[in-house]
A and B are shown apart, each in its own frame.
Chain A
C-alpha cells in the first residue's frame, strides 16, 4: 500500500535544462516529431496513421463486474484502480475524507467510495447506476462497467453487460450463489458474453477455506450447461484485503491459478468475430457536401468492403457497386468490421438513414416479424398488442408485441407461460414492425441482432433485447423473394415439422419415413380389398396429409424448455 501511495515528483532539476525552451511554441512544431523509425504519419493508410508514437496500450478489454448486493463489486474495482496506480493523490485524499464520513469499513479505506459517484449512492452505500471506470497496465487498457447489484437496477446491469467482452461475477464466500447471481449470469449469457471470471470474494471472512471455495465452484459449475459460457475461471479473492487481486495471496497457498489482474491481462475473450461475416453496414448519415459527392456514412458491423464490391441496399433491394471507401483519414482501398466509413456507389439508388448496405451475394434478413428475448425495464407491465418504437441498427420504426411466448424463470432458467412481463423480467417474444426491417439473429451479428423498445409517449427506453429468428424461420433473402415463397415454403415447413429446422439429411429421413408409412397404408388397403385404382390415391393422400394432422393437434411442438440444438442458447431449453 505504502509504495503506491508514495508521492512521485514531477520532473525536477535534471529535466529543467532542456525544459527551458522558449515560451512561444507554434502549432506546427508542438505536434511532436515523428519517431526515430520514421514511421510515416500517412493520411491514407489508417494502420500507419495510427502507429503509436508513445506506445499506448495495445489492446482494450471491456468488462463488467456483477453479482448480488454487497458482494463487493465497487470495492473490487476500487481495489483494482488503487493497485494499478490509477488513483491520484488528490483523489486519495478525498477517499480518506469520504471513508471517515460515509465509509462502511471502519478505520480502513472504503474503496467503493472511489466508484460510487452519485450522492444518493454514497449516502446509501449502494451502487444505483452503472459507472464506467478506466485503468491501464503496460499491456492493456481496461474499461470497466461497475453495475448495480439490486434487482431494482437490473436494467443498468444489462446495459453494462451489452457492451462487455468479459464478466466478473462476484460471489460472497459466506452467502454462496444467490438468486441475483443466477439472474446476472443469465443476462450475461443472454447478451452473448462467453468469457467469465467467477471471483469468490470475502475469502477473509471464511478463513480462506478451500472447502468453501470448492463448494461454490461446484455450485456454479452446475449452472454452466444452461449458460453457454465457453471460458470460466474461478479465483478466490478478498477485494477488501487485496488477496489474489494483483499478487498471489500467501493466505490461499492451495490456489495455483492466476490472480484476477493476471487473468484480465491474459484473457483473449471469445467474442463475436464480425470480420468473418458477409459485409453489413447500417447507414447512419447521407453525406452530401456538394453536388458531386453523395456518400453513405456508417460503421461496418460485419465483413469487409473494397472498391468495386457489389452491394445491395436493404430493405429496398437496390443494387450497385462500391465506387469509393473513405476512412477517418481519407480515401482507402478497403475497410472492415469496426471501422467508421463513408461509401460512395457507382449508381444513383435511393438510400437513406436506417437502410443497410450488405454484400450482394449475402443479403441479410428482411421481415416485419422476428422473435427474440427481451428484458423489460419499465414500471408498467408488458402485454401483447401495445404500440412501441423499435430501434434496431440505425432504424426506428413503430412496432407491436404480437406474442409473449413465455417468461424466463430465474431459478430453473426455463421459459414459463406468462400473460405479461413485469419490470426486470426476461421474456421470449415475437415482434411485428409496421414495415419490413433488416435484422439478423444475435448469434450471427451483434449489431443487427440487438434492439431496444421505446415508449412512444414517454420516450423511455422500456426494453432491450436480442433477435432469435427473423420472419417465419426465414433469415435469408429479401422481402420480395420471401413473399413469393411464403405460401409454398410455409406449407413445406409445416409438412416437415421439426425436420424443417434440421439439415438436409434430417429432411430426407423424414421423407423416407413418410414414404414407408404410405406404402404400409397402401398395403393395408390392399389387404382390406380396396379397389386397386384407389390404393395409390389413398397412399398419396396419407403421404401428403398426415403430417398436417400432427400440426393440427400441436404434436409437432417440442416440449417447453427443450432446445433442438443444445449448443445454441436460443430458447428455454439451454437456459
Chain B
C-alpha cells in the first residue's frame, strides 16, 4: 500500500465500506444532504459500482427551508446521473407550522429533520442508510462507528457500540434494527476539499464567495434567501461578499465573509482559518453534548 497517497487510501477505504454495506443490506439508501460531504460520498458510490450505477436510491429530507440553490442543484444532479431521488418532508410538521423562526432551531431540527428522517426510513423500510458525517466534525461523532447500529426506535446507544477491528464490520441486526453507515468517517474537511479539487466534483455554488443579501442576526450572517424571513426592527439587508462552509436550512446557517471564489481559494482559506466549520451552525451550540443527545434521539 506504500504506493498509494493519503487520498487514494481514503478513497479505497470508502469504496470498501460502501460495497460492504450494499452487499449486506436488504434495502439500502443514501442520505443526500446536497452538501460537499454528500457530493464526495455520492462520487465514491458512483465509483464503487462502475460501470453500473449505485444499487440504491438517494433520499433527501427536505425541511422546506433549504437554500433554493441547493434544491436546484439536487434536482439537476439526480437527473444528470439518472439516479432515483426520494424527497421526504414531514407533512405533519409542515401542517403544524413548524419553522426555524417561530419554533426555534431546536424544535425545527427535531421535527423537520430528525422526525422526518425516521418517518422516511420507516415508510420505505430502509435498513441501511449512508450518511456523509465525518469523525473530525464534532466530538461525539469522533466516537461513532462506521456501521452504527440503531434500535427499531432509531436510537443510538453510545456506550454499547460494537467494536470494529480491522475492517471486519459486523452487519448483523435484528428485525426492525437498522444501520447508519458512514463511508467518510476518516476524512477531514481538508481531505474533502482536496478530493473535490482533484476529482472535479460539482458542488453547490453557495460554497464559493459571491455578493449575497445578508442580515446580521445574533452574531451570525444569515442570507435572506426568500421573503419568509422577516426583518426585525433595526435589521437591514446588506450585500456582502460571503460564502458558506456548511450548508443546511438557510435561517440556521451562518455565512462567513470571504473572497474565496475557487476551490484553490477555499483550500488556502481553510488552511489559515481559525474557526471550525460547524461554528456557523446554530444548532450545535446549545450545549456541549447537544450532538450526542440529538444522535441518541435519531439525528444522523
Interface positions of A (Cβ within 8 A of B): 7-8, 10-11, 15-16, 18-27, 30-32, 41, 46, 49-54, 56-60, 88-91, 94, 97-98, 114-120, 122, 128-134, 136, 141, 143, 155-156, 158-159, 162-163, 191, 271, 273-275, 284-285, 287-290, 293, 297-299, 326, 328-330, 336-340, 342, 353, 377, 389, 391-392, 394, 396, 446-447, 450-452, 454, 459-461, 464
B3 close to A275 (CB less than 8 A): yes
Q: A19-B241, A20-B259, A50-B8 are in contact. Are A90 and B275 (CB under 8 A)?
A: yes
Query: What are 16 A-B pairs at a CB distance below 8 A?
Result: A19-B261, A50-B8, A54-B263, A54-B264, A56-B7, A59-B6, A88-B275, A88-B276, A89-B274, A132-B135, A159-B165, A163-B165, A338-B3, A338-B8, A396-B172, A464-B166
B292 close to A119 (CB less than 8 A): yes
**A143 to B134 alpha-carbon distance, docked (Å):** 13
| Candidates A16, A58, A88; contact of B279 at CB < 8 Å | A88
A111 to B: closest C-beta gap in Å? 13
The 3 A-B pairs of least Cβ separation, nearest first, read A19-B259, A289-B52, A117-B139
* B222: interface (CB < 8 Å): no
**A79 to B171 alpha-carbon distance, docked (Å):** 36
Segment among B92-100, B122-130, B154-162, B224-232 that sits at the interface with chain A: B154-162
Chain A residues contacting B15 (CB-CB under 8 Å) are: 299, 328, 340
B228 to A: closest C-beta gap in Å? 21
B23 close to A285 (CB less than 8 A): yes
Chain B residues contacting A162 (CB-CB under 8 Å) are: 165-166
Chain A residues contacting B186 (CB-CB under 8 Å) are: 132, 134, 143
* B51: interface (CB < 8 Å): yes
* B106: interface (CB < 8 Å): no
* B103: interface (CB < 8 Å): no
**A184 to B3 alpha-carbon distance, docked (Å):** 30
B9 close to A452 (CB less than 8 A): no
B172 close to A24 (CB less than 8 A): no
Determine the interface band of chain B, counting residues with CB < 8 A from chain A: 35 or more
A134 to B: closest C-beta gap in Å? 5
Residue of A nearest to B277 (CB): A88
Using an 8 Å CB-CB cutoff, how does the interface string of B231-244 with A read, 1 for contact, 0 for none?
00000000001000
**A11 to B19 alpha-carbon distance, docked (Å):** 41
* B62: interface (CB < 8 Å): no
Residue of B nearest to A459 (CB): B172
* B47: interface (CB < 8 Å): yes
Given contact pairs A88-B274, A120-B159, A461-B163, a sample of 16 additional A-B residue pairs in the complex whose CB atoms are under 8 Å apart: A8-B272, A11-B269, A18-B261, A30-B208, A30-B263, A46-B8, A50-B11, A52-B7, A52-B194, A53-B263, A122-B289, A132-B142, A285-B19, A297-B49, A326-B50, A328-B48
B172 close to A389 (CB less than 8 A): yes
B198 to A: closest C-beta gap in Å? 6
Task: Count chain B CB atoms within 10 A of each CB in A49, A120, A340, A394 and give the residue with the most.
Answer: A340
* B152: interface (CB < 8 Å): no
Chain B residues contacting A18 (CB-CB under 8 Å) are: 259, 261
* B153: interface (CB < 8 Å): no
Chain B residues contacting A52 (CB-CB under 8 Å) are: 5, 7, 194, 198
| Candidates B47, B142, B194, B198; contact of A131 at CB < 8 Å | B142
B191 close to A21 (CB less than 8 A): no
**A52 to B264 alpha-carbon distance, docked (Å):** 12
**A59 to B158 alpha-carbon distance, docked (Å):** 32
| Candidates B49, B165, B190, B261; contact of A136 at CB < 8 Å | B190
Using an 8 Å CB-CB cutoff, how does the interface string of B14-31 with A read, 1 for contact, 0 for none?
011001101100000000
**A163 to B262 alpha-carbon distance, docked (Å):** 36
B136 close to A134 (CB less than 8 A): yes
**A49 to B4 alpha-carbon distance, docked (Å):** 12
Q: A25-B205, A88-B273, A275-B2 are in contact. Are A56 and B194 (CB under 8 A)?
A: yes
A107 to B: closest C-beta gap in Å? 20
Using an 8 Å CB-CB cutoff, how does the interface string of B247-268 with A read, 1 for contact, 0 for none?
0000000001111111111011
| Candidates A23, A133, A163, A447; contact of B142 at CB < 8 Å | A133
* B143: interface (CB < 8 Å): yes
Chain A residues contacting B138 (CB-CB under 8 Å) are: 117
Chain A residues contacting B274 (CB-CB under 8 Å) are: 7-8, 88-89
B50 close to A342 (CB less than 8 A): yes
Q: A24-B205, A90-B279 are in contact. Are A293 and B52 (CB under 8 A)?
A: yes
A196 to B: closest C-beta gap in Å? 19
Q: A10-B256, A122-B288 are in contact. Are A450 and B168 (CB under 8 A)?
A: yes
Chain A residues contacting B196 (CB-CB under 8 Å) are: 31
B176 to A: closest C-beta gap in Å? 13
B161 close to A287 (CB less than 8 A): no
